[in-house]
Chain A
Amino acid sequence: MKILLALIKKEIKQILRDPSSIIIAFVLPLISILIYMYGINLDSVRVTMGIKNDDPTPEVATLVKSFGHSKYVNSIYFDNVKDIETAIARSKIKGAVIIPNDFSTKLARGQNADLLVITDGSEVNTANYVQSYALAIANNWLATSKYANSAKQPAVNTEVRTWYNPDLNSHYFIVPGSIAITMTLIGILLTSLVVAREWERGTMEAMLSTSVKTIHIVLGKYIPYFILGMLSLTFNIFLCIVIFQIPFRGNYFVLLLVSSLFLFTSLGIGLNVSSVLKNQFLASMVAMSVGFMPALMLSGLMFPINSMPVFFQHLTRILPPRYYVSFIESEFMAGTVPEIVTANAIYLTILGLILFAAVYKNTSMRLEKYPSSALRTPSPAPGDGKTGDIKC
């Protein structure tokens, strides 16, 4: 017990004296939340469109005006098609609407009137916005114009209600989801360095020749970084809820509990990488690719898991971020849903325990790894000395 306390105390001092761990725990979350808050936007955006009207009637002039009034569109008026072409080519406008000269005549006759919408296919997302904005503005205009009655009514009228996030504000799920990414960084990146560092600096060799036991080394790494991670988590939640006013409908206790389970799995991944590789540079590279990238891409935060190829859908099941992201999104927006909490908590606990056992197994008390059978019979068969990385 005293040995464990000494190791924890030592680790905490090292954390406090190493500015990089403080930066990863507290500055990085701030930066990443700022980026997710202000930099990334999956919502509709304001686009600039060109308009050319060949039908100079007072009614159609109101349609042109309603393009100008829309809060989603900046409209620029053009007189000829050539100018529209150059403006799109130079990306001054993202698309254009051309009203043909028989537009009002056709509507007055009760025929289908045509409206040409040009979009810039090199930016597919924006092209979609241009198309749907133009259609929506035209339909709105039609409904209030004098042609409203002569136009055909659609057979089915859809009424859309968006639950949990009525404004469809993507920040409400991306910003909490970014907690998952920061927690992964703390759990995996920081810890991937710490065991490797002890090997590189030779402190591990000195420590192994004292009364230290495997469990001391393992817990001596888990506990301090768990504390650091929980502090960083609290800071993250504070930023989300108090500073950035993300609505939280769940339960704080449940949030902390499941987050701590997720942290436990992340620490497990980081410490495994570190104990196996024993080299800081390599460990941090591996940690980034097994920890950070899946948290970003395979967690369902950015890209829906359902739309992934089948292989990747299965792959997400063995990675902890999937469970945590699914939990944290529902906890923030829908409140505590017992089924979701229990299912994800159970998965995370199982993964965490498996990883803990692996760390324990990978933490060798010698400079090489030996199968336990070799230790009982002091003269193992030749040829099982697979490890050759220790220089004499």
Chain B
Amino acid sequence: MNTIEIKNLTKTFGKITALDNLSLNIEKGKITGLMGADGAGKTTLLRTIIGLLVPDKGKILTLGFDPVTQKDELTQLIGYMPQKFGLYEDLTVNENLTLYADLKGISLSGIKGEGSILNKMLEFTKLAPFQDRLAGALSGGMKQKLGLACTLLGNPEFLLLDEPSVGVDPISRKDLMQMVREMINPETTVLWSTAYLDEAHSFDTAVVIDKGRVIYEGKPHDLGATAQEFEDKVIDLMGGYKQEESLIAKNYEYTDILPSPRAGEGGTKCRVRGQSEFYTVEADNLEKKYGNFYAVKNNSFCIQKGEIFGLLGPNGAGKSTSFKMMCGLAKPTNGTARIMGIDITKDPEKARSNLGYMAQKFSLYGSLTVRENLEFFASAYGIKFKNRASKVQEIIEVFGLKGYADQKSEELPLGLKQRLSMACALIHNPPVLFLDEPTSGVDVLTRRDFWNHITSLAKKGVTILVTTHFMDEAEYCDRISLFYHGETIALGTPEELKRKALELNPSPHPPSRGEEALPTMEETFITLIKESEKE
């Protein structure tokens, strides 16, 4: 029996066709992963299935009901977690759970007290110690768990999750996955929209949609035996990624800036080792204290010219705080950072002029056009007026934004927004680039393209400091600093870290094909964090 039967579904928004004559059946009792590029129609499909949107054409049967005319009957049987989780931030964990229990008409008797549904949920999400905390004050991972707990109330027959793991660290993602698998019974159908292909690889069924049509429907293992192969295949299905020479990098002119003299400074962390190399980015015992709480403690690292340096860590580990201090946006309580040898606490403006910064959230002016945004950043970075127009035009061509130059930047698809953000950060040819979760919420194709530019820029001599949640992306980094509770718990090349994890947690995979089997980056991350928790 099928939970969903969709026939020739079409849904348009003005001129945009979100779903294009789409037909799909989803089997009962299975976990189905829904994949696709940004704007492929994933969210629209989920919303249409439960009647939040009405299709233009076509027929849907969800659990035997027509969501258009029988939405009320249908909502009793489903659990839907929207992208923004739907939590009331000014209510506590407990109050959110109670509210959703009431809204779903779950009988209040047995809701509270020992062994009740509420307690079970709290226990299960490990949120019991935080039950009186406001939802708005929870970390990203905890919010997601609470959102899922609210969705799971009342044992829905059909669970729909819209990208529940975006922006969540690997440990929280693992917990989330485990929660779903443990809480549902064999009869429950799950439709899980995701940008993480390794996640989707572990599901029963994979559905890939592109431009509002289904382009693959089947078992994930039929596409690829490993998560990596699966990812490559899905990318092929989505039109394939052709690695081309990065025009962005090709166009970049690295101006070799000589290290500024550091008379009298003598022994910085980076120089003590007696190496002669010049470090473009240095963090020297960076520390940030809020009251008695250390957001960042004793953070030091030295990055060489042309190196890609990754900051990894769970949500709330202090990555963003470190980043803000490195850019001079937050004042360190102790220690300092140097960009191209210039002390960020002493001359923040000069240090920043060597820096291109891409913030975590889209931080351009949404109501300005692409060209206007570029013009603004060009002037903000001090590019002279007579050179500005030609520089902007050049950037527009190099970044492939030509067709969009006069479109408002808020109307761009996510991938192009990302590219525009990068263009704005690179407009003054900075020797150092800071990227704060540049690929969060971006589809796999755009991510590959993005990293192609990043690695090419590094080859041209740009120093790159990047934070990311995607463990596979950590592999692109030359060196990684693993961050936890405000402190560096491991620092080294991806391979060094993997070996370290292997020593701690010997051989999760039997060696095969004659080579030594190292753990994946994700396993490494989890092992190292668990190890630091023991201490």
Contacts and interface: CB of A to CB of B under 8 A. Distances in A.
Interface string A316-327: 000000000000
Contact of B41 (A379, A387, A392): A392
A205 B90 contact: no
Nearest to A210: B103
A367 B52 CA distance: 5
Contact of B72 (A205, A211, A391): A211
Interface string A251-271: 000000000000000000000
A205 B103 contact: no
Contacts of B91: 10, 13-14
B86 interface: yes
A374 interface: yes
Nearest to B95: A13
B429 to A, nearest CB: 34
30 contacts: A2-B102, A3-B102, A5-B102, A6-B99, A13-B90, A201-B88, A202-B84, A205-B82, A208-B52, A208-B75, A209-B50, A209-B75, A209-B78, A210-B103, A367-B47, A368-B53, A375-B54, A375-B68, A378-B54, A378-B59, A378-B68, A378-B69, A380-B56, A385-B13, A388-B14, A388-B16, A392-B16, A392-B18, A392-B39, A392-B41
Nearest to B411: A391
B36 to A, nearest CB: 11
B83 interface: yes
B1 to A, nearest CB: 22
A374 B56 CA distance: 9
B75 A388 contact: no
A28 interface: no
A370 B99 CA distance: 28
A52 to B, nearest CB: 63
Given A14-B91, A379-B56, A392-B43, A206 B78 contact: no
A210 B104 contact: yes
A379 B9 CA distance: 10
A14 B134 CA distance: 11
Contacts of B42: 392
A390 B84 contact: no
A206 B71 contact: no
A71 interface: no
A6 B83 contact: no
Contacts of A7: 103
Contacts of B108: 2
Given A6-B99, A207-B103, A376-B69, A392 B51 contact: no
B105 interface: yes
A378 B67 CA distance: 10
Given A5-B102, A212-B103, A379-B58, 13 more contacts: A10-B99, A14-B88, A202-B83, A206-B86, A206-B151, A213-B72, A366-B53, A376-B69, A378-B55, A378-B66, A378-B68, A388-B16, A392-B13
Which of the four size classes fits the interface of chain B? 35 or more
Shortest beta-carbon contacts, A-B, top 3: A206-B86, A202-B84, A6-B102
Contacts of B18: 392
B17 to A, nearest CB: 10
Contacts of A385: 12-14, 56
B16 to A, nearest CB: 8
Interface of B: 12-14, 16, 18, 39, 41-44, 47, 50-59, 66, 68-69, 71-72, 75-76, 78-91, 95, 98-100, 102-105, 108, 134, 150-151
Interface-central residue, A2, A211, A382, by most chain B CB under 10 Å: A211
A253 to B, nearest CB: 35
Nearest to A375: B68
Contact of A202 (B51, B58, B86): B86
Contacts of A6: 98-99, 102-103
A19 to B, nearest CB: 11
A233 B507 CA distance: 72
A209 B72 contact: no
Interface string A356-392: 0000000001111010001110111010010110111
A8 to B, nearest CB: 11
A10 B84 CA distance: 19
Contact of A17 (B82, B90, B151): B90
Contacts of B57: 379
B75 A211 contact: yes
Contacts of A387: 13
